[in-house]
Amino acid sequence: MKIRDEYAKLNNDHSEQEFSGIEIIADNGETLYSLKLDDDGVLEIIGGNFCKHNGILLKESICVFPYDNHRIFIQRLPYTRKV
């Protein structure tokens, strides 16, 4: 499988790269999301560990929100400590 940089695509660079998985990194260097694409076209999205991004401490869990028939939103929820 291969991936293409979306920004490069906008600049008419259609070069592709080998792909087995990708990690999106939070501001503190921890994994925000990990993405893997199986041979059958299934995209697996894994929420990383607790991390801090844009000044917000985020839980490990993710929430999935359907938007329409070809798009979803995925969100890491803020960590709130129960007292």
pLDDT tens-digit readout, 54-78: 999 999 999 999 999 999 999 999 9
pLDDT higher than threshold 60 for residue 47? yes
Averaged pLDDT of the chain? 82
- Cβ atoms of 43 and 64 within 8 Å: the answer is no
Round to whole Å and give the CA distance between 42 and 21.
Answer: 12
Domain boundaries, the chain: 2-78
For residue 8, the model assigns a pLDDT of: 61
Percent of the chain residues past pLDDT 90, beyond the cut = 31
For residue 3, the model assigns a pLDDT of: 58
For residue 36, the model assigns a pLDDT of: 87
